[in-house]
Structure 1
């Protein structure tokens, strides 16, 4: 009986533990976790911006705007704006 109670208590406590699911760390995600888009022929900065802009428009957990790159890199800025505009219209 005590063993059953102890096991039940352990599982109950494990169920209450918060793992931070649904919360995204600040900053860009590693390439392996980013959504895949077919942007063949575009620069890496444009691709990064497009994915970030599109995911921001779709309000997913992958949405992110790298303010430093947005202000410094024209390709990233153009990609972000294009991705945001295209994906905003798909709702």
Structure 2
């Protein structure tokens, strides 16, 4: 009897350990927009304007195919600094 109880406890523990605790089920893992500054990767881009930095980070992370990869299509079409940063980041990180 005790062997069955121990086996049942072990089996139950194994099954509950495999259960998913992710509450974002059904949601996309890709961000819908730029990540907040505290969670975005950082690069040493001292001296560049903020729009260029944002574009560079987004382009580089897109080239590296990380979960941070993102292209703000609205900014890309309207903001030349963001667009140039995105293109530079994408091309440099793609070649690495």
Cα distance in structure 1, aligned partners of 2:14 and 2:32: 31
Matched, 1:78 2:81: no
Cα distance in structure 1, aligned partners of 2:72 and 2:14: 40
Segments of structure 2 that go 5 or more residues without pairing to the other structure are none
Cα distance in structure 2, aligned partners of 1:25 and 1:16: 25
* CA-atom RMSD in angstroms: 2.1
Equivalent residue in structure 1 for 2:19, among 5, 11, 16: 16
Query: Which residue is 2:62 aligned to?
Result: 56
Segments of structure 1 that go 5 or more residues without pairing to the other structure are none
Please identify runs of 4+ aligned residues in structure 1 that moved more than 3 A.
Answer: 8-15
TM-score normalised according to structure 1 size? 0.80
TM-score normalised according to structure 2 size? 0.76
Deviation at 1:9, TM superposition (A): 4.5
Matched, 1:88 2:91: no
In terms of Rg, which structure is larger?
2
